[in-house]
Each structure stands twice: as structure tokens, then as C-alpha cells.
């Protein structure tokens, strides 16, 4: 296969890489879920784990539609992202800060996957693999939704409560200044 070196070969190669990445993520997501304190965040990781299992099955259909055997090829990129996530979990952060960091780690993985599926879809489309394109698009849609969900949890309270733990004195000042005295709030900033 490598001898001919066409876009189709590169496509199969990328598929194997992504198939392996998804499999690595099925092992990493339960760890993220376990490390999360916020119940909604834990649930988001757990439900994305279920989706990921479905994505693996969909990738197997993609291989089948191309008359290729489903097999993976070690994905170094996602392995690195997972490795970074593991070091974060070893840090001694307070609960909400850890949650904010788990979201950051999760979103790195989602964006990596979005980039991979974006390329796969573009190549698949260009080569006219209609069925593969359709299936890959479903996976991409799930990655995008997972990424959005993590953003909404971060911006919907987790970042703010982590920030309040980091700068409690500013919180008071901002509260006191909400009437008129903007100067005093500014004075408390570092």
C-alpha cells in the first residue's frame, strides 16, 4: 500500500491513526470522569465515553465501506495530549481548579479530533467516498458538541468559582464597587 503513495493511502493511514486515537480515549475518559468533582462535568465525560464507543463502531463501518480491514496505528498526537492530562491529574489543585484543568485537557483532545475528522471528511469528499463521508461527519458533529458542552460548563460556573478561590479579595472589592467606586476595585488588583 505504501508503495503507491496516493491520497487514498494517506486517507487510510489517517483513518487508522484516528481509530487508534478513539481507542486511547476510551481508556482516558473514565479517568477524567473519575477526577472530576462537578457532577455535570463527570456526566459530560461519561456520556462522551459512550459516544466514543459509538464513534469506534462508526469508524469500523468506514473501513468496511472502503473494503479495508479495521485496524489502528498508534496515534502519538493523542497519546501526548493524554499524557499531559495525566500530569494535570497529579497536581494538587483545589476541586474547581482541577475541574477547570480537566476541561482544558478534554478540549485539547476534542480539538485534535476535530482537526483529524475535518481532514478525513475533506479527503473522503474529494475522492467521492459518500458513505465514509457521511459516517465521518457524524463523528465530527459529536466532537463539536462535546467541545461546546465543555465550554458551557467552564463558562457556566466552573471557571468563575475557580477564579473566586484564586482572588477572593477581588470578589469583595468588585462587590463593594458595584455601586460607584470603580477606583477601589482597581486598587485591589495585582
Element (H, E) at 6: none
Q: Tell me whether residue 141 or residue 160 sits nearer to Fe ion (CB atom).
A: 141
In the complex, the smallest distance separating the C-beta of residue 141 from Fe ion, rounded to whole angstroms, is 11
Using CB under 5 A as the binding rule, the residues of this chain from 124 to 143 that contact Fe ion are 143
The values of phi and psi at residue 36, to 5°, are: -80, 140
- Yes or no: say if 147 and 111 are a contact pair by the CB < 8 Å rule: yes
Residue ranges in 36-187 assigned as alpha helix (H): 39-65, 76-89, 95-126, 130-153, 159-166, 168-177, 182-187
User: Should residue 24 be labelled a site residue for Fe ion when binding is judged by CB under 5 A?
Assistant: no
In the complex, the smallest distance separating the C-beta of residue 119 from Fe ion, rounded to whole angstroms, is 14
Q: Tell me whether residue 81 or residue 158 sits nearer to Fe ion (CB atom).
A: 81
- Yes or no: say if 51 and 22 are a contact pair by the CB < 8 Å rule: no
Q: Tell me whether residue 56 or residue 100 sits nearer to Fe ion (CB atom).
A: 56
Using CB under 5 A as the binding rule, the residues of this chain from 73 to 112 that contact Fe ion are 110
Q: Would you tell me which residues interact with Fe ion (CB under 5 A)?
A: 22, 52, 55, 110, 113, 143, 146
Amino acid at each position: 500500500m505504501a508503495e503507491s503513495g496516493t491520497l487514498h493511502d494517506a486517507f487510510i493511514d489517517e483513518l487508522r491513526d484516528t481509530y487508534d486515537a478513539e481507542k486511547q480515549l476510551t481508556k482516558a475518559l473514565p479517568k477524567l470522569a473519575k477526577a472530576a468533582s462537578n457532577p455535570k462535568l463527570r456526566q459530560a465525560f461519561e456520556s462522551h465515553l459512550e459516544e466514543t464507543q459509538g464513534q469506534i463502531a462508526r469508524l469500523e463501518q468506514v473501513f468496511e465501506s472502503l473494503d479495508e480491514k479495521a485496524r489502528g496505528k498508534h496515534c502519538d498526537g493523542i497519546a501526548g495530549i493524554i499524557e499531559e492530562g495525566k500530569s494535570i491529574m497529579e497536581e494538587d489543585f483545589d476541586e474547581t481548579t482541577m475541574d477547570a484543568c480537566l476541561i482544558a485537557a478534554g478540549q485539547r483532545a476534542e480539538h485534535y479530533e476535530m482537526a483529524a475528522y475535518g481532514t478525513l471528511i475533506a479527503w473522503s469528499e474529494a475522492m467521492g467516498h459518500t458513505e465514509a463521508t457521511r459516517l465521518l461527519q457524524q463523528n465530527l458533529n459529536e466532537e463539536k458538541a462535546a467541545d461546546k458542552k465543555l465550554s458551557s460548563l467552564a463558562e457556566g460556573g466552573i471557571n468563575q468559582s475557580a477564579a473566586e478561590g484564586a482572588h477572593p479579595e477581588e470578589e469583595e472589592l468588585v462587590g463593594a464597587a458595584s455601586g460607584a467606586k470603580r477606583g477601589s476595585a482597581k486598587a485591589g488588583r495585582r
